[in-house]
Structure 1
Amino acid sequence: MNGFNEEAKILAVIFDLDGTLLDTERATRGVLNEFLARYGKEVDKEKQEKRRLGMTQKETAAVTVQDYQLPITPDQFIKEITPLYRERWAEAKALPGANRLIKHLRKNGVPMALASNSLREYVDGKISHHEGWKESFSVILGSDQVKAGKPAPYLFEEAAKKLGVDAVNCLVIEDSLVGVKAANAAKMKVVAVPSRSETDCHGLANIVLHSLLEFQPELWGLPPFDDWVDKTLPIEPIRLNGLYVTGSLLETTENATLSLPDQVAGLYFGWSKFDPDRNFKILVSINFEFPSVTSKRIHVWFIDANSDHKSKQHMQIHLVGYIRAWDNKDLTSTESEKVEEYKSIARASLDLPSFPCFLQKSFARVTL
């Protein structure tokens, strides 16, 4: 599907929150297991995998109570589990590119709205931990403020109404199938940045991205970003532990890949640290295999040094720059000319003040 269309100029952007701007899924991982343990139950992965993102709180509660045969009502479930989630919201990080996009649109006077299937009070609680977010959105809506949440169009229609913009002039940014369906029902353009197995968004969204870092405002008639430094983009640092290197091979633990949000695929560069104090410039590709977005592949190339380690060594990664979106057709071999080209680009950028050097404080020892 196409992006910008002169007949329907984009005048406002409407965001989903969880999984689109905020990585609440990883921050709250384990909450359900902790709750179920109170009733002598354990999480059933098969039951959880059947769930779809975008369900309302009441829908989730009813399904969970039924699936696990809990001796409580859905309302009691909500009352008991909500405090556990609230404690974790403070730990939820902005997804890659989220702060950048919000600040860019605000700076250029583009009206923005938040439209979430969460209750309004939960939306306020989540964004309260992120400086400038509340002030950046002219409209903030929860599913309890309309007669039905997504996939019904009401949240997006109400957001457009409050923004004073026609639906055809709104762009929605979503991560879930129900959100994309809601945007379609509201007759709005939609960009999908899918979470987990939400690859059904393909064919329904105007554009599907792996990360908000791939978003190009100019495709929608919006002001382009002006923060690229030559061919690279400074980013909020992405830190990753639980990696090991033997020779030139990178090994990742399950927890290491689980610690990465789904919307982080791309080609990056930054620094690696070995024990005790060996720091190297690195080029890193992070790839997700569709249709299983949870299947992550991480590849590291050392820019200025060969990693010829005889024994397995723990490695920490600190990514500070972004080069491009991931393309499965590229970088299929460590001998590729493309790899050398990107190494050169990363090497030049890491010598610039725009890209911070390795910081000891950034690598508090955490083994995932």
Structure 2
Amino acid sequence: MAMNSQIGESRSIENSITAVILDLDGTLLNTEQATKSVLVEVLAKYGKVVDHDKEEKKLGMIHKDAAAAIVKDYDLPLSPQSYSQLIYPMYHEKWKKSKPLPGANRLLKHLRKHEVPFALASNSSRENVDMKISHHAGWRESFSVILGSNQVKMGKPAPDLFLESASRMGVDATHCLVIEDSVVGVQAAKAAGMKVVAIPSLPKAANQYSSADCLLHSLLDFQPEIWGLPPFEDCVDDSAFPIESIYLKGLFSNGLLYQSEDSKPSALPDQVSGLFFGWVKTNNGEIFKAVTNFRWNHGCCGSKRKIHVCIVDEIDAKVCDQQVQLMMVGYIRGFSVQEDLTAQVEVPEERKSAARVYLDLPMFSTRRDDPLFLQASWEDLYV
């Protein structure tokens, strides 16, 4: 299944969707990037380093199983219980800084506005789920049901969490749509007899999600109407809409943005992929309209994000080889490229022209005066 694929509109949905069930970590919240430094710090104490292949296989596991696997994989002189006691205070501090993933707030507000029941079903314990969402205003009150893995007999990949969520919402399982980021979550949803949209936390692992009904880059690509749910109402046209601002900084050279080494891990989630538009500010304070194409190259040596920046304003001088700041305020859905290409991808002229028009609309133009963008130091962008 190719990334960024939606079920075609001509394909009928056997059972209409009347409720949505969402995963938390890696689907709504960027907790996994925020906390990945914890394992690095703990292993360093014992003279060990992270094996990324092993960690990818733990994605979506309940904590008890993941802790046991870590102790075994790295031959740590700790029991799984001792390991948990060591890391949880560190996790608690990181969770406070976890940010919603692109499109998360937009989707929650939309479902709430249209009174579509939606549940939160996480492999984290209920106590940890409550702690994570407590830092995000209105989240706790929004969900019809909130469940952690310790509230059912078995966590994912067993279907218990999803079946219990449907039961508590009073909805038949076949009328539920699940949105997940992990393979075990997709397995659990299918075992529950539900439709499932997969948004992989690890872009290079997209080929492992073949059982999902739909595979997307991010929540920004989700189209509720395909599932019989009310469509989003914030679209400028069929493809573009406003997003919560994404701030970046780095060296702009030959059309590419090279992120500064001091950029924090949580600043740009792995789920950011596709075509965005906003402004670029040069080191002398000039501001230009820009389109940014984020994509992944997957090779034998790992995955690497490419950030192509195209200034769409008419300018006299060439902007190159200087530090710049970016603020992306809109997204253009439906623009996709082959992810294994290493050559720079040229943004179509019609997209550039559209971005120029979008950025003159009041819903976007007023955001150009964002103090964080205009006046911030580099460090302020990542507070």
* The two structures share one fold, judged by TM-score above 0.5: yes
- 2:36 alignment partner, SS class: coil
In the alignment, the residues of structure 1 paired with residue 53 and residue 186 of structure 2 have an alpha-carbon distance, to the nearest angstrom, of 23
Contact 1:102 1:136 in 2 (8 A): yes
CA distances 1:68-109 after superposition (whole Å, capped 9, x unpaired):
222221111111210100001111110110100011011001
Contact 1:192 1:201 in 2 (8 A): no
Give the corresponding residue for 1:308. Answer: 318
Deviation at 1:290, TM superposition (A): 5.7
- 2:76 alignment partner, SS class: coil
Contact 1:274 1:314 in 2 (8 A): yes
Q: Among residues 186, 209, 220, which one is paired with 2:216 in the alignment?
A: 209
Deviation at 1:365, TM superposition (A): 1.2
Contact 1:115 1:159 in 2 (8 A): yes
Deviation at 1:350, TM superposition (A): 1.1
Q: Among residues 147, 152, 166, which one is paired with 1:141 in the alignment?
A: 147
Superposition pairs of residues 33-112 of structure 1, within 5 angstroms = 33-37=40-44, 39-46=45-52, 48-112=54-118
Moved more, 321-330 or 280-289: 321-330
In the alignment, the residues of structure 2 paired with residue 298 and residue 335 of structure 1 have an alpha-carbon distance, to the nearest angstrom, of 10
In the alignment, the residues of structure 2 paired with residue 137 and residue 220 of structure 1 have an alpha-carbon distance, to the nearest angstrom, of 19
Question: Per the alignment, do residues 174 and 290 of structure 1 end up closer, same or farther by CA in structure 2, a change over 3 Å counting?
Answer: farther
Deviation at 1:160, TM superposition (A): 0.6
In the alignment, the residues of structure 1 paired with residue 284 and residue 257 of structure 2 have an alpha-carbon distance, to the nearest angstrom, of 18
Note if 1:327 corresponds to 2:336. Answer: yes
Moved more, 205-214 or 355-364: 355-364
- 1:308 alignment partner, SS class: coil
Give the corresponding residue for 2:25. Answer: 18
Contact 1:113 1:139 in 2 (8 A): yes
Counterpart code for 1:150: K
CA distances 1:307-352 after superposition (whole Å, capped 9, x unpaired):
6246x2111111001112341169999896x622111111111112
- In structure 1, the gaps of 5 or more residues are none
Give the corresponding residue for 2:378. Answer: 365
Q: Among residues 343, 348, 360, which one is paired with 2:352 in the alignment?
A: 343
Deviation at 1:224, TM superposition (A): 0.6
Superposition pairs of residues 150-169 of structure 1, within 5 angstroms = 150-169=156-175
Contact 2:247 2:326 in 1 (8 A): yes
Note if 1:8 corresponds to 2:8. Answer: no
- 2:69 alignment partner, SS class: helix
Give the corresponding residue for 2:284. Answer: 276
State percent identity of aligned pairs.
51
Deviation at 1:132, TM superposition (A): 1.2
- 1:275 alignment partner, SS class: coil
Counterpart code for 1:11: T
Deviation at 1:200, TM superposition (A): 3.7
Question: Per the alignment, do residues 333 and 344 of structure 1 end up closer, same or farther by CA in structure 2, a change over 3 Å counting?
Answer: farther
Deviation at 1:232, TM superposition (A): 2.2
Contact 1:247 1:308 in 2 (8 A): no
Contact 1:17 1:116 in 2 (8 A): yes
Give the corresponding residue for 1:288. Answer: 296
Question: Per the alignment, do residues 112 and 96 of structure 1 end up closer, same or farther by CA in structure 2, a change over 3 Å counting?
Answer: same
Give the corresponding residue for 1:28. Answer: 35
- In structure 2, the gaps of 5 or more residues are 2-6
Superposition pairs of residues 123-202 of structure 1, within 5 angstroms = 123-196=129-202, 197-202=204-209
Give the corresponding residue for 2:4. Answer: none
Give the corresponding residue for 1:260. Answer: 268
- 2:368 alignment partner, SS class: coil
Contact 1:285 1:326 in 2 (8 A): no
CA distances 1:18-65 after superposition (whole Å, capped 9, x unpaired):
00000011211311122234x433323346445331111011111111
Question: Per the alignment, do residues 191 and 145 of structure 1 end up closer, same or farther by CA in structure 2, a change over 3 Å counting?
Answer: same
**TM-score of the two chains, using structure 2 as the length reference:** 0.87
Note if 1:223 corresponds to 2:208. Answer: no
Question: Per the alignment, do residues 219 and 249 of structure 1 end up closer, same or farther by CA in structure 2, a change over 3 Å counting?
Answer: closer
Give the corresponding residue for 1:117. Answer: 123
